[in-house]
Amino acid sequence: MTPLPTNLSHARRGWAEKHWKRWYFWATHSRLQPVIDAAHTLKRHEAGLMSYFTHRVSNAGAEGLNSRIQAIRVSARGYRNREHFKTAIWFHLGGLQLYPAIP
């Protein structure tokens, strides 16, 4: 199996598709059920995975923000209504300057 390049910024979609097909074949013929299941899961998301090599955009920022929002929800142990939840999100993640500027 060809090793991954150390610098993925040089990877192209064509290389990614070639490597993906080789890995997928290996994984589905490995006789290890967890690896086979993971390969099938990745196959369902193949279009999204390959789009990274075209657009170089990931969902890491959205996932990080979602994680912080979930932490707010858990720390409050629930909110009585959506407006209070929205207010807490804006308060903690809105980037507001709460202190007056000192001239």
In this structure, is residue 39 part of a structural domain? yes
The number of folded domains in the chain is 2
Q: What is the pTM of this model?
A: 0.54
Residue range(s) defining the domain that contains residue 36: 11-55
In this predicted structure, what is the pLDDT of residue 49? 87
Q: Are residues 46 and 65 in the same domain?
A: no
In this predicted structure, what is the pLDDT of residue 8? 56
In this predicted structure, what is the pLDDT of residue 64? 92
In this predicted structure, what is the pLDDT of residue 44? 95
Q: Angle, to 10 degrees, between the axis of helix 13-28 and the axis of helix 46-55? A: 150
DSSP readout, 45-98? THHHHHHHHHH---SHHHHHHHHHHHHHHHHHT--SSHHHHHHHHHHHHS----
End-to-end CA distance of the chain: 62
Could you report the average pLDDT of every consecutive run of 10 residues in the chain (103 residues)? 52 86 95 96 91 84 90 82 86 81 79
In this structure, is residue 84 part of a structural domain? yes
In this structure, is residue 100 part of a structural domain? no
State whether residue 17 is helix, strand or coil. helix
Q: Are residues 28 and 51 in the same domain?
A: yes
